[in-house]
Amino acid sequence: MSIDAVTETRASSEELEYVGFWARVGAAIVDTILALILTTPLLRLFGGSDDWQQTELTQWQDIQALSWSSFTTVSSPAELLISYGLPIVAILLFWIARQATPGKMLISARIVDARTGGKPGAGQLLVRYLGYYLSILGFFLGFAWVGWDSRKQGWHDKLAGTVVVRSRKRTQVRFGP
């Protein structure tokens, strides 16, 4: 059964809509900021690269002095776990427990199985996460695909068999005649 059929059968209690590209970008920005708030102090505490050892960034020159390599290289096992392991675990736990990350919750969106409209399984969500790496290929084309797809699925959604939905807004604004 497609999500469209599930939407029709649930129409009396809840109308669903697919969540589009820009709403999902906004949710991703919120999630990224939260991840940085969580991981940056831990990286500083457990000693990241030398660029992070500065005690204050009070001038624009100090901010510019941070090299891109300090954000893209991993210098210790602790840094690897904090930079990559912690966000992966947090995202998967949020998806399993709430069907959404905090950013998606903020926009009232949730991840559902594309076939049944129900809660996706843990394996399905792991495939979805791993699909993020595929979606990054070709200048993030797999994420941009959300903007063109009729079901608003990125490549990671298609691979995992998921869609992102939210309750349809009851009021619609129309422009023109």
pLDDT tens per residue, range 67-100: 444 555 667 888 889 988 999 999 999 999 999 9
Q: How far is CA 109 from the centre of its chain?
A: 11
Residue at 176 is within a domain: no
pLDDT grade for 47, boundaries at 50, 70 and 90: low
Of the candidates 146, 110, 133, the residue with the CA atom closest to the CA atom of residue 22: 146
Evaluate the CA torsion angle 93, 98, 104, 105 in order and state its sign: negative
Whether 34 maps to a domain, the answer reads: yes
Q: Assess if residue 173 is contained within a domain.
A: no
| Structural domain count of the chain | 1
pTM summary value: 0.74
Residue 49 has pLDDT above 70, yes or no: no
Which residues constitute the domain of residue 89? 3-167
- What tokens were used for 85? 């392991």
The answer to whether residue 128 is domain-embedded is: yes
Q: How far is CA 169 from CA 8, 21, 84, 95, in A?
A: 16, 17, 36, 23
In a domain, 177, yes or no: no
Most confident of 76-80, 102-106, 166-170: 102-106
* Mean pLDDT, the chain, integer: 81
Q: Is the residue at 73 inside a domain?
A: yes
